[in-house]
Structure 1
Amino acid sequence: MTLRIHALFHTDYEDLSFIRQWASRQRHLMTISRSFDNDTLPNPDRFDWLIVMGGPMSVHDEEKHPWLIAEKRLIKQSMAAGKTVIGVCLGAQLVAHCLGSSVQPSGVKEIGWLPMRLTPAGQAHPLLQDLPKQDFNVLHFHGDGFDCPTGASIIASSDAWANQGFVYQTSLHKERGTWVLGWQCHFEVTKESLAKMVLNGNNAIQNGLKDYPNTVQSPAEILELGDKYIKANNARLSAMLNRIAAN
């Protein structure tokens, strides 16, 4: 089945990266809206999946970024329509927020290739059977965290913040075999997109190194470790997307 996948961008340097590669290989149709450029957002009947990407702003920054209002409306409409909705970093926070969950600064910055582990619920979840049962390193680039949305399951945690990912379904999602999935981390980064994130996020990295040296890595370390971890994380993302698409 050919899927119509729509993505919401919040910045020009956090893009689909490996997700676009996966969609191209599977011959799915990809469209995007650059919310930060005030692109007109589509109606939910124009796509099958909605992917909400990352960005440096907060879910609460509606006064500074008024386009967040329309984007939140679309996320809610998409979930109500039983669409598969996938959130990445800020995108996961936005989805959690739209489900009524609190999203606030976590009290720590996590920036770099840091360990994460599946919770028991995550280990048992059918979408995550290709992920390691023990700790594995993923790219973090966040300081805000979400509480578990009502009715959702937390699927991953780290030493710094317990809620690193969640899955959720309404009765309509269960009927259709679709999912709502949010990850704080970036499985999707490639070598090229990682370099852009590090360059554009350098101020956050430098400030984080001073305040949170145990959970923030230097630009050089992040790029060097990317060569070690990117391939495995792209493969994990591919397996998850394949499982979602197979339902």
Structure 2
Amino acid sequence: MGRQGIGSDGGIGAATGSVRHVLDGASDPRPILVVLHQETSTPGRVGQVLAAHGVSLDIRRPVIGDALPETLDAHRGAIVFGGPPSANDSEPHLSREIDWMAVPLAEGRPFLGICLGAQMLVKHLGGCVAPHPEGLVEVGYYPLEATPAGRRLLPDWPSMIYQWHREGFDLPAGAELLAAGDRFPHQAFRYGQSAFGIQFHAELTLAMLYRWTTLGHEKTLLPGAQRRRAHFDGRALHDAAVQRWLNDFLALVFGEPAPR
């Protein structure tokens, strides 16, 4: 289960080893760049948590022609979210996004890739993104196990996490595995000090769960997927721990060390 704290400035806080991180918009007024892959997509609970603590968002949708900045000097960091495409697809906007990831890496800016965003980061780093060898998917709640490296960063991880994907990724050279799964072993990683990728969907809101399992109902019938009712049962059991973890994780990625 995750652990949430309150910093002296009112921001959410995460204890990382002996260093506590707090997230508060007053410490850095620059927005976080948010990259979405559908016209109707939202940043979900990630956006809610950030906005609640005074962090503004600069939302771009390259799929409808929005450009990505040549530098992140005007941004606190960047988040690339998931979406229907594969990181292996040949659409020009996806290729440009993968190439663009050189910007946060070169500048050392905080970066988070979620699901497709994590897979695109893996592709940028020279890794492989591919379906499960037995054709299985993860659609629903599945076990998650933090590695020792992951627990050094955040001591409390959820034991079950929401997934919606048919492809997984290899761990890129030089990356550190933070969390593993049974069916798709690489679930969270860090590259360098400031770039993170997660396969799962901690940003899921209840409205998103209704929408995904309605519009994408056929995905719940794929090999290895959980049926729709199990998604809601899983949320009732596991979402509180996921929400606490997400608060801590966002403080770790985009926050600052708390004053001692």
If asked which structure has higher relative contact order (CA below 8 Å, sep 6+), I would say 2
1:41-56 equivalences under 5 Å are: 41-43=68-70, 44-56=72-84
**Helix, strand or coil at the partner of 2:144:** strand
Provide the residue aligned with 1:59 in structure 2.
Answer: 87
CA distance, structure 2, for counterparts of residue 123 and residue 5 of structure 1? 26
1:1-247 equivalences under 5 Å are: 1-2=27-28, 3-12=30-39, 14-43=41-70, 44-62=72-90, 65-107=91-133, 108-124=136-152, 126=153, 128-131=154-157, 136-169=159-192, 173=193, 179-206=194-221, 208=222, 211-212=223-224, 216-244=225-253, 245-247=255-257
**Helix, strand or coil at the partner of 1:45:** coil
**Deviation per CA, 1:203-232, whole angstroms, max 9, x where unpaired?**
2222x1xx33xxx11122212322332232
Q: 1:13: Cα distance to partner?
A: 5.3
Provide the residue aligned with 1:176 in structure 2.
Answer: none
CA distance, structure 2, for counterparts of residue 14 and residue 138 of structure 1? 20
CA distance, structure 1, for counterparts of residue 73 and residue 211 of structure 2? 33
Q: Is the 8 A contact 2:33 2:75 kept in 1?
A: yes
Where structure 1 has 5 or more consecutive residues not aligned to the other structure, the ranges are 174-178
Q: 1:11: Cα distance to partner?
A: 2.1
**Deviation per CA, 1:46-89, whole angstroms, max 9, x where unpaired?**
31211010112111112xx2211221122122211111110111
**More off after superposition, 78-87 vs 2-11:** 2-11
Q: 1:94: Cα distance to partner?
A: 0.6
CA distance, structure 1, for counterparts of residue 211 and residue 65 of structure 2? 22
Query: Greater share of helix residues, 1 or 2?
Result: 1
Q: 1:95: Cα distance to partner?
A: 0.9
Q: How many residues align?
A: 226
Percentage of pairs with the same residue: 28
